Structure 1
Amino acid sequence: MNETSLTTTMTFEQAFQHGVSLYQQQKKTQAREVFEQILQHAPKNIAVLQILCVLDIEDNEFDTAMGRLDTALNVEPDNLSVWFDKANLLCQLGHNNEALSIVNALLEQVPDSQDLLRLKQQLAQAMGHRAETQKTVRELRNKETEKRQNIATEIEKTLSVAKQIEAQGNFQQAADLYSAVISIDDRHLDAYKALAQLQIELSQPESARQTTLRALDFADNDIRLLTLLAKAEILMGQHQSGRKNCRKILKIKSDELTAQRLLINSYEHQQNWIEVNRLASELSRSHPEDRLFLSQAAFSGFHLLRARHNFTADNIHVCKNNLERAISWADTQNQKDRLIPFLAETEWYAGNPKKSLALLDEYLARRPDNLDAAFNACFVHRTLGDWKNYYAAFEKGIDCGSRLSFQGELARWDLSRPKNDKVLVIPEQGIGDEIEFFHNLAMLAENCAKAYVVCEPRLEAVLKLAYPQVTAVPVKRVEHQAIDIPKDVIDDIDSWIAGGSLGAIAYSAYGKHHFLDSYLSPPDVQVELWKEKLETLKAESGKQHVVGICWRSGLAGASRNVHFLSVEDVAQLVRQCPDTLFVNLQYDDCSKEIKKVKKLCGVEIVQLEGVDLRDDFIGTAAVIQACDLIVSAGTAIFRLACAIGKECHLFYAWDKDSDPSQPVDLIWGHGFSYYYPPLTDNKYPVVDSIAKHIKRRLN
């Protein structure tokens, strides 16, 4: 079928719309053919006759057009629309008197028709009837004024009703009324603004964006419209465009706080805490009475502290003070509760675990469903030595997703499960966590038929050497993505458990954190090889002992972390042990730091060749075993020393009452812990105590 042929199944309405569509597409010849075909089936159809009349006029077929109108009037003599078309055609042909008589007759029936008044004005002017023309113009103006007044009155009534409905919370009905106003007056600015605001409230940011863009076509610098546009774009995730409009507002009015708030909100959505903190801090200083800016500065400051692991005493003090001030200024309990968990965590960083726990207990009494806060309580319980509550809170980390990116649908394993279970063990967040939970794999292996242990690929060799009875499943994890377990493993298991949860079972069933005190024995041949190398180095340097040292993690900003030693601290330690050879166990590039240590104290920390401290954990374990003892921060090196049962001297920020001069037995391994207040500015007492005690142990 071509586009001008009509099928027998096509209704009149379908055929008519088809012809109209062709006409709108400027396919007038094809449209004429369609309407002519319709006319053959319906020769008295008024609408078709009128359309064909239009096509005839466009083709200068005036007589044919007039004939069609006369035919239509024979069918419906009282059809005002056809009479109006005939008057227009007569005017076009110059038959003004006849056209005017028709217009006057029509005006008797429709006196308010502006179209008829305009045509009468045109005819009177063409006929030189000046007085009649002026009279008609006045009538037309009066009618237009009356119409505008009536429309304005109806619009005001509609707006009043819309506002009442909106105040009652019926946002969609109110939005429909504002849309109706715009359909009548497409330049009604207040209606556009009200509609866009409601569309945002109704979670329709795309519609709000379109509404504001329509209005900005005729009010391009309206601050309220630009604000609504920016807000809609930010809600849509179009942050760059939203911020661009915020900055446009600020060029128009530099002190427009709503635009400043939207800028901050945009960066908050993207968790760009640097920009949030910069803007909120600046605005809080310039508007010291503004509670929201203060709250945003405190909120973002905490996230910066945590994300960067930049736990310096100064940063912790500033963060804590800002949070306390923002909470004290908050208007509502909800606003306070947004910040209280962060203050509790910061109190813990500051070495105040009892204050931290009091804040969390009070908060969780109000909001027991906040799993993140419930999980964070585990670290406070650990500092306080409350192991029962520690493990209970630690399990909350699975439900809130803080510990691992896996949620198994099968049962979670425990000692009550059948002995013939095939169990999947899911790793925790870091390398050190995995090395630590390997202490409890023997407990699992003794109580199940088969254990699949997912591990970081670099730990596969450790797992195979330590536990040949389990099946290692090396999986490279990608940050912020769910861990990808092979399908054949998933299909074969009966239950699963997070690696860290094995400790809770061991503590509950056996009263200890580790089922095995140590579990890894590096190959004797490697250990002996390193012992020989270290003996040679001792002889060459005139030293008597060998100590492996790891003073920080590989985290960005770690050198300024309260849990780690600075280069100056390391120099203070090694200078006090002149008969000891210090061996580097840092697993990232630290050559500049080692050079600085030598410059400060004249002692060089040895960097061993032939071992990959980052990727070869078996080789690193052999080096650790060959040393006399280890000094370490709470890193994977510390965990590896515990795994092989090597004496380790751990330094760690604990609480404000800690005394580093009194080391305590390690909870998780062989050796000693040197706990010190987190906010101490001077760690020399810590390293002095370590130096004193390792010399005593070595001698």
Structure 2
Amino acid sequence: MATQTAPNLLRDKMLKGLSYQKSGEIEKAQRCYKQVLKKVPNNADALHLLGVTYRQMGYPKRAVEYIQKAIGANANQAPFYANLARAMMDIGTDPESLLAVSNKALSLNPREKEALNIKGIALTKLAQPEEAEEIFQRLLVDHPDFGDVYRNYGILLRQNKDYSKALVFFQKAIQLVPDNPQNYIERSRCRQELKDYDVSQEELSEALKRFPSNADIKHEAARLLFSLSQTHVGVTYAEEAVADNPKDYHRLVTLAVHYLMLGRGQQAIDTFLKAKKLAPEGAAGIDWNLSLSYLSVSDLDNGWALHRARFSDKMSSSTAREFSVPEWDGEDLSDKTVLVWGDQGLGDALKCGTMLPDLVGLAKKVIVELSPKAVPFYERSFPEIVFRVKLPDDAVLPVDYDVTANITDIARIFRRDIEQFHLAKSPVYAFDPVRARDYLSRLPDADEKPVIGVAWRSKNLQKYRARYYLSAPDFAPVIEAEDAIYVNLQYLAVQKELEFLTARAKGSFVSFEDVDLFDDLCAAADLTAICDLVVSANTSVADMAGILGVPCVRFGPVEPPLLLGQASPPWYPSMKYVHVDESKPTSEILPEIVGVMKSEMQEVYPQSRRERLKLS
């Protein structure tokens, strides 16, 4: 019997290695390729396939090293460049380099599917969606069972905000490649964009069962649970994800925001600082959340210093404005006019407006831009300030000011520590006492009973916020707790809510039909002013009570810019804050809300209302 020649032995060893590799026995495949390389160190195929095995085992840098050696031995093989690009992508190589390597592969074989796939990914990252889409569509025609293409096409569609169509492609990717965890992750992210949280939670639970040790799935579960305000559950997944890879700054950020919302501010700071060391320069989201973390432990110096980072965070609703004049940085304003502008909602504008008197005391002139409905209320409160309606950004207006100031960011000048809150004048907003007394006169028995203003929710009922509010039926025990007159302060209340509370209160719940609580801030303020106490969810209703000095019991989540590390908001001396434990339904804290309400009522009734309205 003839013995095998050396080339035949090497070929058989290569084929055996390929067989092991296809069956998932990667270490056995590596041994075969290494045996070939021991005999022929420059064997291009063995170098290439050994590199691919390292990528499969999670060592992309070593994969790049061996595949580059393979290319050095034979530079004319399209698959070598395609797999090099794949390994480079795993280590986070920039899309320009990925595009160059995949183009090299395609110059050798224009139909090399992995190179086309990676080129499509690179073009997606380079914001060239039309060419990327053309590539993915061509791949789907030529390779209808190529699961990776469905996922990558879905990512492109999701980036283009075509979420429903993207979801179809992620579902197909899972159908074709059910053992790839990334397909489940991308589907979850698409569901979240569609606000389809419940289905996403169910699907991720199934994915966790399928991949119980996969840290990427755990990280995605933590992200979803954070969006659902279930950080008490998500924190465990976030911690396990970080333990798996402590150098992944994305995972550290996810863990840190969980700590922040759980009231573990110092742990949040420490974790964000670790993430910042690992993240690329200017990574979005870290400084903004670090600002909130500092504020949550009353470190106002560091908190306010980083607060402008919200403008570069895509998860923030804040948008920066550009002006042709500089931003005020605390310098002398005695001969200058300052334009004050805002970037957040009404509640924040009311809260931060408490600092306007500080600014007036420094500047020659103050101009403040506001929404149309806010202007009359502010004009009544601050007659020495010029108020005007904010116009669209593209409107051409004369520049009649020397510097600008964001109404939130002046806190770094005027509220650098908690003591400055204690020294600030309060209240600084005004109401119309004549109209307030008229409203009071319309309430039966107001001379004999307390008047309690109530609001139970916001108009924004997104899932992560709504869990901190109450429905009208859940709120009903509040209006049964005291023999009092309950005044509706809930803006945009639906008729069914009002009818339910009216029936439940048996005549003690009053809604002023002629008061527009949403658009007429002057009337809303005057009605709020007649109350001995306000009980409100974490909305602008509570802010209105706070700025007028009306005693208020406010309930809500961890809110660093409001609470600043204190038990109750230092912005409003008359306010008590009841923290909602997110591990329980908000309705379960009703006994605490009622208890604080009763305690406050004993302190403020009847003298607070009489003094405020100047009643005899």
**Percent identity, aligned pairs only?**
17
* Residue of structure 1 in register with 2:403 after alignment: 495
* Residue of structure 2 in register with 1:408 after alignment: 322
* Residue of structure 2 in register with 1:425 after alignment: 340
Q: Distance in 2 between matches of 1:333 and 1:344?
A: 14
When residues 393 and 411 of structure 1 are mapped into structure 2, their CA distance, relative to the original with a 3 A threshold, is same
Q: Distance in 2 between matches of 1:560 and 1:242?
A: 26
* Residue of structure 2 in register with 1:630 after alignment: 534
Which amino acid in 1 is paired with 2:593?
V
**Structure 1 alignment gaps of length 5 or more:** 1-155, 184-190, 306-310, 477-482, 656-662
* Residue of structure 1 in register with 2:413 after alignment: 505
* Residue of structure 2 in register with 1:346 after alignment: 258
| 1:82-130 deviation digits (Å, cap 9, x = unpaired) | xxxxxxxxxxxxxxxxxxxxxxxxxxxxxxxxxxxxxxxxxxxxxxxxx
Q: Distance in 1 between matches of 2:487 and 2:75?
A: 82
When residues 259 and 240 of structure 1 are mapped into structure 2, their CA distance, relative to the original with a 3 A threshold, is farther
Which of 391, 397, 400 aligns to 2:310? It is: 397
Structure 1 residue 339: Cα displacement: 2.8
Structure 1 residue 458: Cα displacement: 1.0
* Residue of structure 2 in register with 1:134 after alignment: none
Structure 1 residue 498: Cα displacement: 0.7
* Residue of structure 2 in register with 1:575 after alignment: 480
Structure 1 residue 510: Cα displacement: 11
Find out whether 1:641 has 2:548 as its counterpart. Answer: no
Which amino acid in 1 is paired with 2:600?
H
- Corresponding residue SS for 1:673: strand
Normalised TM-score (structure 2): 0.69
Find out whether 1:192 has 2:104 as its counterpart. Answer: no
When residues 457 and 395 of structure 1 are mapped into structure 2, their CA distance, relative to the original with a 3 A threshold, is same
Aligned 1:458-607 pairs, distance under 5 A: 458-475=373-390, 484=393, 486-489=395-398, 491-508=399-416, 511-513=419-421, 515-534=424-443, 536=444, 538=446, 543-556=448-461, 561=466, 563-565=468-470, 567=472, 570-578=475-483, 580-597=484-501, 604-607=508-511
When residues 623 and 290 of structure 1 are mapped into structure 2, their CA distance, relative to the original with a 3 A threshold, is same
Structure 1 residue 423: Cα displacement: 1.6
- Corresponding residue SS for 1:694: helix
* Residue of structure 1 in register with 2:351 after alignment: 436
Find out whether 1:363 has 2:270 as its counterpart. Answer: no
Which amino acid in 1 is paired with 2:572?
G
Which amino acid in 2 is paired with 1:496?
T
Which of 241, 257, 276 aligns to 2:180? It is: 257
Structure 1 residue 497: Cα displacement: 0.9
- Between 1:678-687 and 1:583-592, the stretch displaced more is 678-687
When residues 278 and 324 of structure 1 are mapped into structure 2, their CA distance, relative to the original with a 3 A threshold, is same
Which amino acid in 2 is paired with 1:431?
L
When residues 557 and 229 of structure 1 are mapped into structure 2, their CA distance, relative to the original with a 3 A threshold, is closer
- Corresponding residue SS for 2:112: helix
Does the CA contact (< 8 Å) of 1:276 and 1:296 recur in 2? no
| 1:24-58 deviation digits (Å, cap 9, x = unpaired) | xxxxxxxxxxxxxxxxxxxxxxxxxxxxxxxxxxx
Find out whether 1:667 has 2:570 as its counterpart. Answer: yes
When residues 265 and 448 of structure 1 are mapped into structure 2, their CA distance, relative to the original with a 3 A threshold, is same
Which amino acid in 2 is paired with 1:694?
M
Which amino acid in 1 is paired with 2:595?
D
Q: Distance in 1 between matches of 2:140 and 2:506?
A: 71
| 1:487-516 deviation digits (Å, cap 9, x = unpaired) | 324x22221111012233222499523854
Does the CA contact (< 8 Å) of 1:227 and 1:258 recur in 2? no
Q: Distance in 1 between matches of 2:158 and 2:385?
A: 49
Q: Distance in 1 between matches of 2:156 and 2:284?
A: 31
- Between 1:171-180 and 1:613-622, the stretch displaced more is 171-180
Does the CA contact (< 8 Å) of 2:491 and 2:518 recur in 1? yes
Which amino acid in 2 is paired with 1:693?
E
When residues 201 and 443 of structure 1 are mapped into structure 2, their CA distance, relative to the original with a 3 A threshold, is same
When residues 290 and 689 of structure 1 are mapped into structure 2, their CA distance, relative to the original with a 3 A threshold, is same
Q: Distance in 1 between matches of 2:256 and 2:276?
A: 12
Q: Distance in 2 between matches of 1:291 and 1:390?
A: 32
When residues 587 and 559 of structure 1 are mapped into structure 2, their CA distance, relative to the original with a 3 A threshold, is farther
| 1:123-175 deviation digits (Å, cap 9, x = unpaired) | xxxxxxxxxxxxxxxxxxxxxxxxxxxxxxxxx97743772697497766765
| 1:567-596 deviation digits (Å, cap 9, x = unpaired) | 466433332311x11111111215434544
Structure 1 residue 547: Cα displacement: 1.8
Find out whether 1:693 has 2:600 as its counterpart. Answer: yes
- Corresponding residue SS for 1:630: strand
Which amino acid in 2 is paired with 1:692?
S
User: Which structure would you say has the larger Rg?
Assistant: 1
State how many pairs are aligned: 504
Q: Distance in 1 between matches of 2:291 and 2:107?
A: 57
Q: Distance in 1 between matches of 2:284 and 2:117?
A: 34
Q: Distance in 2 between matches of 1:230 and 1:469?
A: 58
Structure 1 residue 201: Cα displacement: 5.6
- Corresponding residue SS for 1:423: strand
Aligned 1:56-67 pairs, distance under 5 A: none
When residues 495 and 398 of structure 1 are mapped into structure 2, their CA distance, relative to the original with a 3 A threshold, is farther
Structure 1 residue 530: Cα displacement: 1.3
Structure 1 residue 403: Cα displacement: 6.7
| 1:231-265 deviation digits (Å, cap 9, x = unpaired) | 685488476666555555666x4636378358528
Which amino acid in 2 is paired with 1:550?
A
Aligned 1:367-386 pairs, distance under 5 A: 367=279, 369-370=282-283, 372-386=285-299
When residues 669 and 173 of structure 1 are mapped into structure 2, their CA distance, relative to the original with a 3 A threshold, is closer
Q: Distance in 2 between matches of 1:272 and 1:565?
A: 21
- Corresponding residue SS for 1:492: coil
Aligned 1:647-662 pairs, distance under 5 A: 647-653=551-557
Which amino acid in 1 is paired with 2:187?
I
- Corresponding residue SS for 2:420: coil
Structure 1 residue 229: Cα displacement: 7.4
| 1:556-575 deviation digits (Å, cap 9, x = unpaired) | 05898565455466433332
